Structure 1
Amino acid sequence: MSGVEQLLALLEDTALLLQKAQTNLKKCPKQRLTKGYVEARLQSIEEYWNTFKEAHNSLVRTVPKEKKSEISYFVNEDFFVFEDLYLCIKADLKDLLINANKSPAYGTSLEVANNANEQLKLPKILLPTFSGSYEDWPSYRDMFQSLVHNNSALGDVQKLYYLKSSLTGEAENILKHVQITQANYEQSWNLLNKRFGNKKMMVNSILKRLFNQKKMSSQNYKLIKNLLDTTTECLNSLKNINIITDSWDPLIIFLVVQKLDPESHKDWEEYVQNDTDKLPSWEQLQQFLQLKFRTLELLSPSTSKERSFHIATPAVQFKPCPKCQLEHALCHCKEFISLTPQQKNEFVRSNNICFNCLCSGHMVSKCRLRVSCKVCQRRHHSLLHQSMAVVKPSNIESHFNQVEDEIDEEQQEQHLEEQMAPAE
C-alpha cells in the first residue's frame, strides 16, 4: 500500500471514529452525562481531530496539485465536511458540560441505599437503555419496573422523565412528542408494553438472529467466539420468555456446525467420534468451541511473511480506476482485462502504473507489495505475464534463465523494469 493510500485509509478510519462518537453521544442516556463523562468525551474528540488534521496535512504535502482532481477526498472536500462534524460534536459536549455543572431537575441516577443505610456507600444504579429491539425488551422491562415503575417514592412525572431519558432509536421516537405530565405516564408505559411486549415478535426476532448467522470460510477465533456467544445469547433469550429449549440440542448442534469452516467442522467430528452410541450435547459443542477459539487466539496473529502470488488486489477507496473511472482496482476492471497483452502493457507504461501491483505513484523497483506473478513467480502482475513476450519473441522462461546466470535477484527486478517501464 502506497503512502497516499495509507493516509487515505487513516483519514477514513478517523472519520468513522468521529461519526461513531456522534452516534454514541445521541444514544447516551441523560443520567450518564456527568461532568467526568463529558470531559472524557471532549478529550477523545480532540485526539481524533488532531489525528485527522495531521493525516490531512501529510496528504496535502504528498499529493501533487495536478493529481488532486483524481482523488475524491479532495474533489468532495471531505476535510471541511468532517471539520464541521467535529465542531458540532465539540459544541454539543461543551453545552452538556455547562448543564452537568448545574443541578439536574430530577437527578442523574437512582440511589440504591436508603437513609437508614447512608453509611453504606453503594454505587448508584444507572437506568438501562432500550432502543426498540424485541429481544431486549424483557430485560429492560424487568429492570425498569424494579427501579422506577414499582417505586412508590417516585411520582408519575418523575417516572415518565426516567422512561423517556432511557429510550433511544425507534423506542425514543414513539414517545418523542409526549409531554412530561402526570397523566401521560401510564399511557406511555402501556404503549411501549403493547408495542414491544409481543411474544410472537420477540420469538421471531430471536430465531431470525439465531438462524441468520453467517457461515465461516476459514478458521478465525473472533468468528468462532461470535458464533458461540450469539447462539448462547439467543437460547438464553428464549428461556427468558419461557420457551423451553432443553430438547433442542440436536437441532442447535446441526445449525452451529453448519456455520463452521470445513477444518473446524472436521475437528468437531474427530472430537466426538468416540461417542458413536449417543448424540453429542450442546454443552459438548460449547466446550469444543471454547477450546478452539482460545487455541486460535493464542496462535494469532501470524507473523509469516512468505511471498504470495497475485490473486486479487484490494480496491482503493477514494481513488477511481484509471481505465474506466469506476470505484475498483485496475485488476478488476473489465475494460482493462479485455485488452490484448500488448495493449495492457502499453496502458500500464503510458499511465506510470506499477507493473507489479497495478497501482499508480511508484515504479516496480519501489513496490512494497510482496506479491509476484502466479505463472512465472517474477515481479510483475499476473495479468501482464503474456505481455512479457515483447521482451523477446522466444520463450519467456529461457529469457529469465539467461538473466539468472548473469545477475542476482535485485538486478533482475531492475532489468525487468528497464524492459517494461518507460524511461524516467
Structure 2
Amino acid sequence: MAKGKEYDKLLKKRANAVKALQYHEKKVKDMSKDASNAEAFNRMSEIEHSYERFKLIISEMEECDEFDFNDLDPPTEDIREIFITTMAVLRIHTQGADGSSVLNSTTNTRSEKKVKLPDIVIPTFDGNYKEWTTFYDSFHSLIDQDTELCDVDKMHYLKGLLKGTAFKTISKLPITEANYKIA
C-alpha cells in the first residue's frame, strides 16, 4: 500500500531524528571522564531537544490515516531507551563529589526546593471548547510564559499537544518563529 507524500516526509523526519539521537548516544559513549560539565550540560540540552522533536514527529505520524506501527524502525521504545540511558550517563557525569547534581545547582533555581514535585502534564486539546480553558491556562503558564523557550520550541510543543480538529487547524503551518504567534 502506497503512503501519502506528507506521511513519507514524516517518516524521513523521524529517521533524521533517530540519527540525531544515535549520534548523541555515540558522542556520550566516547566522552572522556575528564570532559567538562559544560560539555555534558550542552550534550544534555541537545539530546533533550532532539528527543522532544522525535516525540512531536511521532505525534504527527499518529494523526495520519496511513500510520502503521510497522513503519517505526527502530521501534519507538528503542529510541526512548537510547534517550533514557544516555541522559542517565550524563547525569552521573555531572554529579559533584558529594553526589549532588551540579546541573540542579547551576541551571535551575526552581530545583532548590527540598521536595521533588511530580511533573505537570499539559492536557492535549482536540478542539472541544469545554476543555479550552484548562488547556490554555496550562499551556500558557508552562510553555508560553517560559522565557527560556524560543517561539520555534513553543510551536513544537503546541503542535505536539493538539489533536483532531485543533491540530488540523494549524497542521499546515511550518514550525517557525512567526507562525507561533499566528497559531
Superposition TM-score tier, normalisation by shorter sequence: 0.3 to 0.5
Give TM-score scaled by structure 2 length. Answer: 0.45
Larger helix percent: 2
Higher relative contact order (CA 8 A, sep 6+): 2
